[in-house]
Structure 1
Amino acid sequence: MHALSLYELNSIVSEVIHTTMSRSYWVEAEVSEARERNGHLYLELIQKEEGTNTPIARASAKCWRSAWSLIGPHFERVAGLQVRAGLQLMVQVHAQFHPQFGFSWIVDDINPEYTMGDMARKRQEIIRQLKDEGVFGLQKELKVPMFAQRIAVISSASAAGYGDFCNQLSDNEYGFAFSIELFPATMQGEQVEQSIISALDAINAEEDAFDCVVIIRGGGATADLSGFDTLLLAENVANFPLPIITGIGHERDESILDMISNTRVKTPTAAAAFLVNNLANTLGMIEDAQTSVFRYVQNRMQMEKMRLQRLSTGITMQFSMMKTRQEGMLDARFVRLSQRISEALSEKRLRLEMISNRLLPLADRKLTAEKHRMELLAQRVESVDPKRLLRLGYSITYHNGRAVKDLKELSVGDELTTMVENGIIKSAVTENIINKRKRKA
């Protein structure tokens, strides 16, 4: 019996496939894995059983660099996203069987319109489910606080859009002060959903520290925004207790995140402008209210003056002094009210000036106190300086480099060094001196 070699068998299979499956086929499938290497695209395609997540078919596909360099940019430009796991694709493939590497489908083309249609269907299904759950409009019921200045920001720390947002707030024409805290998150790719949800959880843990949340994306490319079109992210945003402002930075149709948020703007700088305008509108309302109060008081005082004038026509001269006094009191009250209104307008500015003026005197007083303490320490050091005691007529006797404090430490023959102000005296201990000291002791 003659057996074929494996190469011969694979060559027969290759010839059969090349002969019987020479044309290309359009195939609908879901991407379970997509990776690029050396300019080539490698795909794992699956088909799931309808209504379940159970795969009923699998296949590997490759798009060589020569084709992918044209197909990839076209797909991203039309569909607005990158080929990744989870997308439904319509790919044109032809069969290839290599005796050494085996069977694979070779990708000739990808239809971006099909993927766009599938994404649109998924978006509509998510929107329908959110409306059925009754959460689609929850964020719209919240109001951005009139004095929204404590801002929690969800963005990539290195994104240019985040820097633009911060600069826009700090350099606003009104001089408003904002407190910004960044909660870093991935804003592109497969990790968008979980990363933003984690950031929302962190903000929710300290909800009372913020007035609103801003979700911004760093501008630039508009590809791969599907991470903002997920049900789980939309549910988290819809049920969030603080108003959420989105500035994803793209010009195409709104994402579901945009639809579900409290306020949607196009760019990070537009989000900053919205917050500045919100405070500006509040300031305008306060100034209008102040003007209304001022005018009301002014009109009321004028009416009271006129009423007093009318009453005074029927009053005899003996009450003229009373009338003058009342008018003076009314004038004084009017002046005081005017002053109070002016003081209220400048209160914030004065407070800042007072704080600034306090800092320098406090620093000066601290330096003066420390200088005085150093002088006292210097005096104390000088008072115990041995040289000072020598100048006063005292002397110090040393034995082996140590000052002699007790005669019992000395023995006959010990050499002593006595220091006086202008020199040193050398001496020795004698027996008679020791005996005398002992008798005295």
Structure 2
Amino acid sequence: MTNTLPPTTTEREIFSVSQLNRQARQLLETHLPLLWVEGELSNVSTPSSGHWYFTLKDEQAQVRCCMFRNRNMLVRFKPQQGQHVLLRARVSLYEGRGDYQIIAEHMEEAGSGALQRAFDELKHKLSQEGLFNEAHKKALPPLPKHIGVITSPTGAAIRDVLSVLERRFPGIPVTVIPVAVQGKESAPQIVKAIDLANRCGLFDVLLLTRGGGSMEDLWSFNEEIVARAIFNSELPIVSGVGHEVDFTIADFVADLRAPTPSAAAELLVPDGDDWLDKFIGFEVLLEEAMLRRLQQWQKHLHNLRQRLRHPRERLEQQAQRLDNLELRLKNHIHKLLANYKNQLIQLRLRQQAHHPQIRLTQLSERIKNAQTRLHTAQYRLIDRKKQALGESVRMLNTLSPLSTLERGYALVTDTQTRKVITDSDQVIPGSEISTRLAHGELICRVEEVRNAN
């Protein structure tokens, strides 16, 4: 039997605990991407530092979590024990204890249940305040003079609405008030648009609309500020949000709810062909009334002729006068009819001149110009930031303590407290200290302390 000697110390790679934990942390942070984790909160701690510490668990496992103050300030709710949440986080390791943990970057309540609860709570609150009562609903004008449409100028909803309005009654002017219809900025923009429409004095009815989507996509129309802006509007508002199965708080507060954007446009304006048929009917009635009146005059003339046979000359003059009146009356009738026809032609020309496509072309050109200016401003800002970054890097290199270490100096710290040692009175014989060099670090034990005196 032969004996095998163990390898010498020089053949082994020996880690300190700090080195092991550091390498483990780097391995976790570099090999696991930013990910989403869902679970239940427990052991929630919110110390005075503003950071949040808690445990995320499910039925079979748990993990320690940390959410720093600069990130948790963006969370809209206060975390509670047992609350089910969804985290966007990165995996890390706390070197001081060797504990595996995750660092949360974003937190939200898990599932659509949170949104539904918020919807039901706001609906109940506004209903109790009377915002849904029929007594507060304003009547729509039978023939709007100017329609304001609050929606996204690039969505499918505005195309459907404009198509229906043009088909049903192209003579009514329509102005699109552009807003974002989803996202954090959407609700404030809708409130500002409603206020602007009420103050400008152009409109006599408003349409608030967007296409369908998930509950999250339609959430701007469930915001309390939007509901109160609709309720406080002096102009009647029609809500046409989403599909037939979609209901929002805005639908309950609005003066009229339509199941779709197209249906809302149908409800806003009458059918132009029906109105044109009515005008044609009025023209026929007018002609018939004038003909009856003419016949009455002719009959009356005949009676006068029968009654006034003498003197003949005067009767002939009166007959001639009546014939002239008849001709003038006919000419007047024809002129009146011609004027009505000219008015109809002028109305049709004005309708064509105010076609929405002209306005859309102008708005498209303005958007292109704004995009060009935005790109130019972005490039200038990037150049300025690059110059500032270069200056900061040069200054950092000048002031870096690493430059001092390169000249032979060392940085000495206590291995336990990690505090910098600047005086020999801070250590005692037998203490363990760490000496940081320009390249590498020395772990030393103090044999003797010599005071500067």
Higher relative contact order (CA 8 A, sep 6+): 1
TM-score between the two structures when normalised by the length of structure 2: 0.48
